[in-house]
Structure formats: structure tokens, C-alpha cells
Amino acid sequence: MIRLGICTDVTNINEIAEIGFDYLEFNLAKLYAMTEEEFASVCALVDAAPIKVEACNCMLPGDIKVVGENVNAQAIHDYLDKAFARARRLGVKVVVFGSGNSRRVPDGFDTAVAWRQIGNYLRLVERHAMENDITVVIEPLRAGECNIMNFVSEATLMASLIQMPHIAVLADTYHMALGSEPLSALTMAGGLLKHVHIANAIGRKFPKEGDGERYADIFETLKEMGYEGRVSVEAGCDDFSRDAREAFKVLSALRA
């Protein structure tokens, strides 16, 4: 069965467990930046919680570049060593490579070279992912957030070409909607699709009943293709407790 999670601060882990969510998705860059004392406190909180941190988004801080003239492979290695070790300690199984500021193509830079640099970055990531039993999923971002890798179809092609066992694909229904990408892109990704982000495309808000979003179609497509991975709410809200409950009510009714 599809597992449901929510992207939020780790301090909300007990509340979302009580609501019914299966896991929490946290921010990897924030996890990396914590002091040892802060990280120890997070570990204690998660260890005592009924659910775990199974995924992390925000793989890279914006000052670590993977595209352009300022790519520093050693800095990337050093960052991933610490970040992935901490993620493994929390039980993370999926890390999301969106990181639009890190992969944005600078003005005047050769786009073909940028694509090769992203491929090289993912090959570098593979070792860290393998050592920590983590799958890294490529997240396409809408053109307004990043100027490269905007479609699930492109992420699928990239993952297919590099053929690394710990590199897969994420589909974010918000970015898909704003890019007018059809749900058939999910089916085309097939077994490479390992993670999903979901939100109301209008304003990127938590799912609500009757908000006009095509949640039923999304879940029907996922179930038809045999997807049994994770679906995380990644969105803004007006009242976290209220909106998280409403989102779980809407999505849990569709995953069965």
C-alpha cells in the first residue's frame, strides 16, 4: 500500500503520527547544519516517536553548486559524507535532489555541459547513497524555480542513461501541473519512480476536499502502475494541525 508522509519540521513528528501519517520528510540541508547537540536532540525525539524520518528533501544548500564554473567535487563529497551519515542515523531511505539553486544553469553557460555536470554529480552521489542504503530521487522543478530538468520525462531519461542502482525519479504533482506534464509521465517512469510529492497546484497548498485538484486521478495512476512507495505532502498551509488532518483524510481515502 502507498505510504503517506508530510514535509515538515521534525518537531511535528508526534503530531503527524497521531493524525495517521506513516512517516515524516525532513530537510537534509538543515539536518547537516545542526550542531552535534541539536542533532542528538533530534535523534532522541525520533527514536521515541511512533513513526520515523523516512525521507529528506532539500538535498543541497544553495551555495554548493553542481552546475557551472564553481563546482567543487571535494566540497560536495565532504557535505554528503556528513549529511548522509546523519540521514542514515535517523532511518532515512530516500533523499530528494531538487536543489534548484545548486543546479541552476548560469547565464551564458553551455546547457549541454550543464546536463553532463548533473550526470557527473549523480554518479558521485551513487557511492554515498550505496554506503548509506539510501535512494536519491531526481526531482524535476518547474521552469520558474530552475532552468534545467523541468519534467518527469527528463528525470526518467537521466536516470535511465546513468543506470545507477541508487538513483531514481521523483514526481511532484505541483511542478507537473505548472509544466502541463500529463500523468502518463508517471507510467512512463515505471519502476524508476520511487517517490512522489503532492499538493494543490493552486497556491501550492495542502490537499483539501473539493479544492479542484486531481488527487483521485493521481492515485489511480499510481495504483494502476503498481506503485507502493511514498507520497509526501510538500506544500504550505494556513493552520498546520487543521490542514494536515484534512490532507490525510483526503489522501488516505484514495490510497486503498
Going through the chain in order, the beta strands assigned E by DSSP cover 3-7, 23-27, 52-57, 94-97, 135-138, 167-172, 193-198, 230-233
Residue given cell 505510504 in the structure block = 3
pLDDT tens across the length of the chain (256 residues): 999 999 999 999 999 999 999 999 999 999 999 999 999 999 999 999 999 999 999 999 999 999 999 999 999 999 999 999 999 999 999 999 999 999 999 999 999 999 999 999 999 999 999 999 999 999 999 999 999 999 999 999 999 999 999 999 999 999 999 999 999 999 999 999 999 999 999 999 999 999 999 999 999 999 999 999 999 999 999 999 999 999 999 999 999 8
Domains and CATH numbers, the chain: 3-255 (3.20.20.150)
Look at strands 167-172 and 193-198 and give their pairing: parallel
How many residues are present in the chain?
Answer: 256
Q: C-alpha cell of 69?
A: 564554473
pLDDT tens sequence across 226-247? 999 999 999 999 999 999 999 9
Helix orientation angle between 111-131 and 152-162, rounded to the nearest 10 degrees: 70
Helix orientation angle between 240-255 and 215-224, rounded to the nearest 10 degrees: 40
Question: 138-172 burial, b if ≥16 CB within 10 A, otherwise e?
Answer: bbbbbeeebbbbbbbbbbbbbbeeeebebbbbbbb
Cα dist. 243→9, 52, 149, 181, 252 in Å?
A: 15, 21, 31, 27, 14
**Nearest 5 degrees, angle CA 63-CA 66-CA 72?**
75
Taking alpha carbons only, the member of 162, 158, 224, 166 closest to residue 190 is 224
User: Quick one: CA dihedral 62, 32, 135, 7, positive or negative?
Assistant: negative
pLDDT tens sequence across 151-194? 999 999 999 999 999 999 999 999 999 999 999 999 999 999 99
Going through 8-70 in order, the beta strands assigned E by DSSP cover 23-27, 52-57
List of residues 6+ apart from 26 with CB closer than 8 A: 7, 8, 9, 10, 53, 55, 56, 57, 90, 92
Query: Which long-range contacts link 188-192 to residues 24+ away (Cβ below 8 Å)?
Result: 188/152, 188/153, 188/156, 189/152, 189/155, 189/156, 190/225, 192/156, 192/159, 192/160, 192/168
